[in-house]
Amino acid sequence: MQESREQWGSKMGFLLAAIGSAVGLGNIWRFPYVVYSNGGGAFLIPYFCAIFTAGIPLLILEYGIGHKFKGSTPLSLSRVNKKFEWLGWWPIISSAIILCYYSMILSWSVKYLTLSFNKGWGQDSDTFFYNDFLKLSESPLHFGGIVWPILMGIALIWIINWFICYKGIKAGIEKASKILLPCLLIIMIIIVIRGVTLKGAEVGLNTLFTPNLEKIKDPQVWISAYGQVFFSLSIGTGIMMTYSSYLPPKTDINNSAFMTAFANCGFEFLSAIGVFAILGAMATSQGVSVDEVVTSGIGLAFIAFPKVFTIMGVWGNILGVLFFTCLMFAGITSSVSLVEAISASIIDKFGLKRKKVVTIMCLVGFLISTVFATNAGLYLLDIMDNFINNYGIVVVGLLESFVIGWVLNPNVIRDHTNAISYFKIGKWWNIIIKYITPTLLTLTLIQSLITEFK
Ligand code: PHE
């Protein structure tokens, strides 16, 4: 017997949960490095283009489909047309893949949070991370055994995921988002204020934002912008459709899409400013350029930052604890959303009880994630992150816009969202969904394939 569909307690609860899904590790771990390596300030041109030509229109589309057809992705799309149910399972597979490596990074954050109380990574955070913590001295293909602290962290994350989703939409996800999101914002603001008041912070910010206009001629930069916006807004993973299916009949969907995108964007800038201000201070104190201290996303969080905290005295301990708590809180609200998108699809398809599905799913998820507690974890992370960003979610975005733009008729969704929204969207949205988004995403995909096989 299928349980009757749950509902959010309030529109605010829904918004916080949706923003909680969007604001995640990608904002803190990915965004600052993506901006830095793709032209600095100049990256903002493709970034905002991606937000307005794909991010927000697809968010409205996903909210609209979920709300109108009242189901998780496979159910909603099968209600659009029976033939499209398979398309609804695709984002669920992407979510499952993201969830595996996401729980690994979250587990690292748990460990580093405990280490930051006494700066337990020692003087050489680089060697500590690769050799002592990840035990990477062996080749990834050679099984080097389970790394127990990582496995324990992964277990903890799955228990938290289970606990929140088991309690359901209102008592679980909504409540957790209402607590974690405000805390996250306050912690990030403290980090930013401390960061920008450090000596040398401006050097970091100049490095981050100085535009290298040459870069926007590079198609790879545009791919990165679309990939970042999709990943960051949790588009193409079934989450936003699932979340909006729990909304009451009358809710301002259009306004919610804009609010989600702007809140996420604001948080992205906040963390980029915090991260680069701190890196600038470190470079200045060591008399080197910021370029010499910047490493890729993972390296930033788990190598460069611990290094900074080591040389900072007691503020290093405080910032360390705040920074890793921030990563954890941001990541938990996102990983819970991934668990929910997958569980809801199974519940909708087979009419099973939430508690049963969530429990089995979390157990299976934990077992699969154990692979990430071996020396192959980092290697797999690279492959999966690349696959998901360049193909997984972009293909879903492309197919969604094709189905609604060409098979259904964008007016069906636009009329639905406009009827219940105070903020109305015009015909421009139809044009974006029908022509602009599919064209840009096809170009992005072709370019990704060319780069891959070059
Ligand atoms: N949006 C999350 C982030 O920025 C990542 C995520 C992607 C979460 C897709 C859920 C689904 O980190």
Helices and strands of the chain, counted as H and E runs: 24, 0
Question: For tokens 């493709």, what's the residue?
Answer: 46
Spatial contact of 407 and 81, defined as CB atoms under 8 Å apart = yes
pLDDT the model gives residue 304: 87
pLDDT, tens digit, for every residue of 348-395?
999 999 999 999 999 999 999 998 888 888 888 888 888 887 788 888
Per-residue pLDDT at 3: 54
Tell me what pLDDT residue 328 has: 96
Please give the distance, rounded to the nearest whole angstrom, from the Cα atom of residue 258 to the centre of ligand 1.
17
The residue nearest atom 6 of ligand 1, judged by CA position, is: 234
User: How many angstroms does the Cα of residue 268 sit away from the middle of ligand 1?
Assistant: 12
Residue 394 alpha carbon to ligand 1 centre in Å: 14
Structure tokens at 341: 């998108």
pLDDT at residue number 1: 41
Closest ligand 1 atom to 264 CA: 4
Measured between alpha carbons, how far apart are the two ends of the chain, in Å?
Answer: 53
Predicted-complex ipTM score: 0.97
> How high is the pLDDT of residue 140?
63
- Of 21, 97, 165, the residue with max ligand 1 atoms within 8 A of its CB, to mutate for a pocket test, comes to 21
What tokens does 172 get? 């679980």
Q: In ligand 1, which atom is closest to the CA atom of 337? A: 10
Helices (H), 8-84: 11-22, 25, 31-37, 44-50, 56-69, 73-80
Q: Which residues of 301-330 are buried (b: 16+ CB within 10 A; e: fewer)?
A: bbbbbbbbbbebeeebbbbbbbbbbbbbbb
- What is the model's pLDDT at position 141? 64
Tell the residue nearest (CA) to atom 9 of ligand 1: 234
| Cα 231 to ligand 1 centroid, rounded to whole Å | 5
Q: Fold for 11-453, please state it.
A: Amino acid/polyamine transporter I (1.20.1740)
The structural domains of the chain, with segments of one domain joined by +, span 11-453
Atom of ligand 1 nearest to the CA of 231: 7
- State which residues of the chain have pLDDT below 50: 1-2
The per-residue pLDDT for 138 is 63
Q: How far does the centroid of ligand 1 lie from the alpha carbon of residue 311, in Å?
A: 32
CB atoms within 10 A of CB 123: 10
Residues with CB under 6 A from ligand 1: 21-22, 24-27, 98, 231-232, 234, 237, 239, 334, 337-338
- How confident is the model over 398-437, as pLDDT tens digits? 999 999 999 989 999 999 999 999 989 999 999 999 999 9
The answer to whether the beta carbons of residues 374 and 91 sit under 8 Å apart is no
Q: Which atom of ligand 1 is nearest to the CA of 27?
A: 4
Predicted structure pTM score: 0.93
pLDDT of residue 114: 95
User: Shortest CA distance to 343 belongs to which of 100, 92, 94?
Assistant: 92
Q: How far is the CA of 102 from the centre of ligand 1 (A)?
A: 9
Residues 6+ apart with CB under 8 A from 132: none
Indicate which atom in ligand 1 lies nearest the CA of residue 334.
8
The token pair that represents 258 in the structure block: 């804009």
Residue whose CA lies nearest to ligand 1 atom number 7: 234
What separation in Å is there between the alpha carbon of 401 and the centre of ligand 1? 20
Nearest residue to 102 via CA among 31, 26, 178, 18: 26
Picking from 304, 301, 302, the residue whose alpha carbon sits closest to that of residue 291 is: 304
Query: For the chain, what is the radius of gyration of the CA atoms?
Result: 21
